[in-house]
A = this chain, B = another copy of it.
Amino acid sequence: MAHARIKRIDASKARALPGVQAVLTYQDIPRIPYTTAGQGHPEPSPYDAVVLDNRVRFVGDRVAAVAADTPELARQAVELIEVEYEELPAIFDPEDSTKPGAVLLHDEPDATGIHDPSRNIAAHIHAKVGDPEEGFKLADRVFEGTYHVQYVQQCPLEPHVVITYFDENDRLTIRLSTQVPFHARRIVARVTQIPVSKIRVIKPRIGGGFGVKQEILIEDICAWLTKVTRRPVRMEYNREEELRSSRTRHPQKLVYKTGVTNDGKLTAMTLKVLANTGAYGSHALTVQCNTGSKSLPLYRCDHVEFEAVVVYTNLPVAGAFRGYGAPQGLFAQEVHLDEVAHALGMDPIELRRKNLVQVGDSPPLLEELGEGKAGFKQVILSCEMEECIRRGKQAIDWDKKRSRAPAEGSRKRGVGMACMMHGSGIPGVDMGAAYLKINEDGSFNLQVGATDIGTGADTIFAQIAAEVLTVPADKMIVYSSDTDFTPFDVGAYASSTTYITGVAVKKAAEQCRDQILSVASNMLEEPIDNLTLRDGRVWAGNERSLTLSEIALYSLYQSEQFQIQGAASHFSYHSPPPFAAQFAEVEVDTETGQVKVLEFVSCVDCGVAINPDGATGQIEGGVTQGLGYALTEGLVFDEKGKLLNTSFRDYKILASTDMPRMTSILVESYEPHGPFGAKAVAEIPIDGPAPAVSNAIFNAIGVRMRALPFTPENVHRALKSPREQDIEKRKSEPALTPG
């Protein structure tokens, strides 16, 4: 059942099974509230969970944990645990959560004021710029549309897995698939009451994260089992558990309203969101902040409002998922603007161009909703949005395809596009640090707390340090993410790694460079100002030079010996947005509702791409996930809240064979706050596929898809309904209020 109180739990039979090492229920461990969100929070942070509770809040919630000699024995023991439940009413529709008399999911008050458990509200956000009511008065026409996005899961190919053991010094070692090793250490310390100093967290190479590994989901249980058994414990999710019991993307209902002049200038924009966080609310506030901050500021408008109500339901838990709220907001916004352009009889690109944010702008919502510290103005210093659009139009052959005559037969083609922005880290919050030392062959050991989850971050860092030191990147031996050996880092999220930790690496490399020049100055008996470092050598003029190996050997063995080494940190008050335009061409079969994406073009301004191949890989991966969001993915529940699609047979993620021709173009700008001009690229490519495909479907068949995903079933149903919902409103009509 989806919601119940545990009246009685008896694990004695399970414990008696030979080979069972431990069984834990809520009766066995202290009730310490904490947040599962691995994010840049100091203690105390808003709690949203306890390790084991006397209550289940969704099908897939924790009841008990078993450690046994084999997985088979553990499963057998689970069957032997007797539980008597008192079933409670369950809420599955977020619209019901805040209704008077609704059953409350959480009892504890929240000291930080983020959650309001007395109303089933996990977060409530409201931000306003100017006076939207005035803005609507200035408009010639007002439009309002309602959009829906579904539950999807991050689907890393490697599900959650963790191994815990006490090492020879009796310190708890946690080897795990995570994006946030340092937060894992902090949170496990809190819930197991083992001091931080007695815990080591190691992140080996892992099989993807996409946000779902930004939380502490099984590490706490695994650590507890090691704590009570004193033995190594391995815990992992199978695919069903990953889909059901880890984390998902927040489903939302979004009401987008705009006021525009007849020539297409935006006078007012409001976005009201009702979001479903499921049974727990770890990322409730920040994801929904992002829904507003990564969509509305993309266009210039003096009167803007954003409101989001995030409610609890008895369904799987939403958390961080690549894009982090932005794909939802941008789906609503970019479809809505397509609708507005259509109503105005304008090319949707022209409508956008009239309103796009420009270099030098400082959209207030970027600061207010930016999750980061208040009081730091965000100014756009790099933006090649116009060029992204120009090159994307060209690549997809926009003008020709938009003006072509409809095809004969049931297969109709169309093109659509969307614009998007994202961020580069959480301003004033994210930080990274690096330590770098030279070896006697002129190679370097680089240690960073930053967490490469398959993005190639380690390679980027090698390139950055190598660039400063003018050596090939393979001279850098990178080790990342081990709380004992690498300096602190907030972890891999918010597209921050290159932008934040990259600068820390650059600073550490510059410290080494300065020391190298100083040693070379002694060796060559030349003032530092006469020396240049290039091609891995220090040159005095063009004749005399020393290799880094010679300099290292001298400094380690010869005279006034010391280790050439650098240690540096970085954080930023700025989160420069990358920008992108994405274009889709689709073919829709009007008989079956089947949507086939024929071509997909992404033009991305991520500043200077430090590793263009890596950046392109990020774009292609993001498009793959974004098209899955658009076309096939979605958790399906029965009427009791039980997940029905529990494997990749029933939950369809796109494989390379499902993908259209992809064109990914890096449109370079230079971001002054980033390392060597770089901004982020990790999340933005997932933001646009859904609206671009929706808009292309409309262009193909004149049917407006306002709800994800565009399965044949959903498209077919839309084909049968009135071909166009009237989104135009009377100007005085108030916008819908969520919740």
Contacts and interface: CB of A to CB of B under 8 A. Distances in A.
Given A40-B557, A556-B488, A439 B562 contact: no
Given A435-B567, A479-B485, A484-B479, A197 B40 contact: no
A197 B567 contact: no
A163 interface: no
Nearest to A204: B168
B435 A565 contact: yes
A435 B195 CA distance: 22
A382 to B, nearest CB: 24
A553 to B, nearest CB: 5
A477 interface: yes
B554 A561 contact: no
A439 B553 CA distance: 33
Interface in A559-613: 560-563, 565-567, 569-571
* Copies of this chain present: 2
Given A431-B556, A562-B569, A569-B562, A195 B441 contact: yes
A286 B282 CA distance: 65
A189 interface: yes
A440 B571 contact: no
A196 interface: yes
Contact of A197 (B477, B556, B561): B477
A145 to B, nearest CB: 40
Given A556-B431, A565-B435, A571-B561, A441 B196 contact: yes
CB-based closest 7 A-B pairs: A197-B443, A562-B569, A433-B563, A431-B561, A196-B441, A42-B557, A561-B571
5 contacts: A171-B477, A429-B561, A447-B485, A485-B485, A488-B556
A562 B40 contact: no
B477 A431 contact: no
Interface in A417-433: 429, 431, 433
Contacts of A562: 431, 433, 569-571
Given A197-B439, A197-B475, A554-B42, A565 B433 contact: yes
A561 B490 CA distance: 11
Nearest to A186: B440
A450 to B, nearest CB: 12
A558 B553 CA distance: 41
Contacts of A41: 557
A513 interface: no
Contacts of A171: 477
B42 A558 contact: yes
A487 interface: yes
A735 B445 CA distance: 55
A437 interface: yes
Residue among A40, A565, A566 with most chain B CB within 10 A:
A565
A639 interface: no
A556 B432 CA distance: 9
Given A42-B556, A565-B569, 13 more contacts: A42-B558, A43-B553, A171-B477, A196-B441, A196-B443, A431-B563, A435-B435, A487-B563, A488-B563, A561-B571, A562-B571, A563-B567, A563-B569
Contacts of A475: 197
B439 A196 contact: yes
A171 B557 CA distance: 25
A739 to B, nearest CB: 31
A365 to B, nearest CB: 23
Interface string A130-151: 0000000000000000000000
Contact of A487 (B195, B487, B554, B565): B565
A443 B554 contact: no
Contacts of A186: 440
Interface core residue of A41, A189, A445, A553 (most chain B CB under 10 Å): A445
Contact of A561 (B189, B563, B569): B569
A369 B483 CA distance: 45
Contact of A443 (B195, B449, B477): B195
Interface in A465-511: 474-475, 477, 479, 483-485, 487-488
Nearest to A482: B485
Nearest to A189: B441
Contacts of A443: 195-197
A117 to B, nearest CB: 25
Nearest to A562: B569
Contacts of A563: 431, 433, 449, 487-488, 567, 569
Contacts of A40: 557
Contacts of A435: 435, 565, 567
Contacts of A571: 560-562
A205 B195 CA distance: 24
Nearest to A432: B563
Interface in A225-252: none
Contacts of A561: 429, 431, 569, 571
Contacts of A484: 445, 477, 479
A569 B197 CA distance: 25
Contacts of A205: 168
Contacts of A439: 196-197, 483, 488
Interface string A213-231: 0000000000000000000
A168 B205 CA distance: 10
Nearest to A511: B567
A186 B553 CA distance: 11
Nearest to A196: B441
A129 to B, nearest CB: 27
Contacts of A488: 437, 439-440, 556, 563
Interface in A29-43: 40-43
A475 B197 CA distance: 7
Interface string A171-191: 100000000000000100100
A506 to B, nearest CB: 15
A686 B631 CA distance: 79
Interface string A507-544: 00000000000000000000000000000000000000
A41 B43 CA distance: 50
A502 to B, nearest CB: 15
A135 to B, nearest CB: 36
